[in-house]
Amino acid sequence: MKETSDVSNKYYVYVLYSLQDGGFYIGYTTNLKLRLSKHAKGEVPATTLRIPFKLIHYEYFINEKDAKAREKFLKSGFGRKQLKEILKRTLFGTNI
């Protein structure tokens, strides 16, 4: 059994805001910096036509299953609604 306090494992769930179409992209990665770079360069097929993006939210996990479950939840209808509520100042303020 893996020790849950092992912080050498890093899993990120992140939310990008498309400055082109105003939509979200929700993803999961073990290397946030590299993944954001790939999005910016158009190297992620799912987002190539939607760049540029702004990182508006991310969460850090030490357990992969927890991270994947959170990503799945945020991609659900209720998860997206909750995300919009949590980030309403970011989305509807002047921060984007």
pLDDT confidence of residue 80: 94
| E strand residue ranges, the chain | 11-18, 24-29, 53-61
Domains by residue range for the chain, with CATH = 11-92 (3.40.1440.10)
pLDDT confidence of residue 91: 84
Residue 4 pLDDT level (bands cut at 50, 70, 90): low
Token pair recorded at residue 75: 């991609």
Q: What are phi and psi of 30, to 5 degrees?
A: -100, -10
